Structure 1
């Protein structure tokens, strides 16, 4: 599984109008896009990177504001905007259930402020756990690959059942 951070917009926002973070500074995005970008908790990497992007791209001077909150704040705001057809930017990462539920187009981010792709790795913290699991099983587990789309689908299923 790989974790990729990005900002995204609903697929109904024309790519010709908004393909990159820099497009948020021009019309028609400037007149149509919601200026509040709702994030998650302030300690999350995606929140720190997103707040930095607002400054480094000059989005703050154009009126954009990054707001931290809970995951529910972020997801609920995005889903409400989509339900009403509003233009909205959402900080996103993969895997993420919203990618299974909606078509979200990642914005190009020319300055590379969101970092690079992360890879999820199996970590065993206790030596005695390694002994109980065994070398052969650990080798098999290290070969597992579920992929972001499938994990996003699983997360979406779990949220719908909760």
Structure 2
């Protein structure tokens, strides 16, 4: 990936977006876009860093840091940058990010794929059977989104969401309209949503949140998805590996590795639990790699 002036400007913009989207979750090892651009102009393809772009969510941090470790173990220097979701899709489409290893398709991020997909390569499914939707504690006595309106007062007429612009937030807006819900969707950070959820459970209060699986909350709390008979959130999703156009030709060895990169939802969730406990993302990835050498061999085709 030849980094020209236009690309450097684009990455600098992504840094600003990333600082907003991450809301304090960006780790030091997830390099800023300015760092990613520094010194790359005159390098050959073999010497260039593989730029991995992710939003600030923990499933992305889990997969990206495992991928980074695997690539660097094979001599392919890699760097992670964090940005908002729309910025990631745009940057991959404009060849300013090489790899996006945690897209949610075909349902959750469909608007972004519809907008940018013609200029992006769909490599493979990292994980199948992922799910997102509206989630409540197990003790809440409803089972369907259709029951939210008649129980509006118990939820204070509020759905607790995550960062604005996330695919699940866009789908939630559609669900509010399609199910004729007199509810407000409150945006927050993913951490903020999880905190509100835990506080409600501690007090046995009714709460409904936008949430997805894999996510560490399902290992720590008794939760359930509300049924979605209109299929607004889709039955299931895939966590998908995307690359910029031309990446396979420029980096055939790296492409071979990422095309074999698969982690099931349980493996991703295990890393997310360590992240929630405060472990550094690189350390959490290293722990998983150390405990799963046979999986790394799968990625490498050994």
Does the TM-score normalized on the shorter chain lie above 0.5?
yes
TM-score normalized by the length of structure 1: 0.79
Write 1 or 2 for the structure with the bigger share of helix. 2
Asked whether the 8 Å contact 1:100–1:149 carries over to 2, the reply is: no
The CA RMSD over aligned residues, in Å, is 2.1
Call closer, same or farther: CA 1:24–1:161 in 2, change over 3 Å: same
Q: Could you list the runs of 5+ residues in structure 1 that have no partner in the other structure? A: none
Kindly state the Cα deviation for residue 124 of structure 1 after the two structures are TM-superposed: 4.8
Which residue is 1:84 aligned to?
A: 203
TM-score normalized by the length of structure 2: 0.45
Of the three residues 115, 118, 131, the one matched with 1:4 is 131
Kindly state the Cα deviation for residue 78 of structure 1 after the two structures are TM-superposed: 0.9
Q: Could you list the runs of 5+ residues in structure 2 that have no partner in the other structure? A: 1-126, 280-302
TM superposition outliers: structure 1 runs of 4+ over 3 Å? 121-125
Asked whether the 8 Å contact 1:24–1:30 carries over to 2, the reply is: yes
Asked whether the 8 Å contact 1:25–1:59 carries over to 2, the reply is: yes
Which residue is 2:149 aligned to?
A: 25
Kindly state the Cα deviation for residue 30 of structure 1 after the two structures are TM-superposed: 3.4
1:41 paired to 2:159: no
Higher relative contact order (CA 8 A, sep 6+): 1
| C-alpha distance after superposition, 1:4-61 (max 9, x if no partner) | 1111110122xxx3010111122xx33423422111122111001112211221211x
How many pairs are equivalent? 149
Structure-2 separation of matches of 1:116 and 1:72: 25
After TM superposition, list the pairs within 5 Å mapping 1:100-139 onto structure 2.
100-125=219-244, 126=247, 127-131=249-253, 133=254, 135=256, 137=257
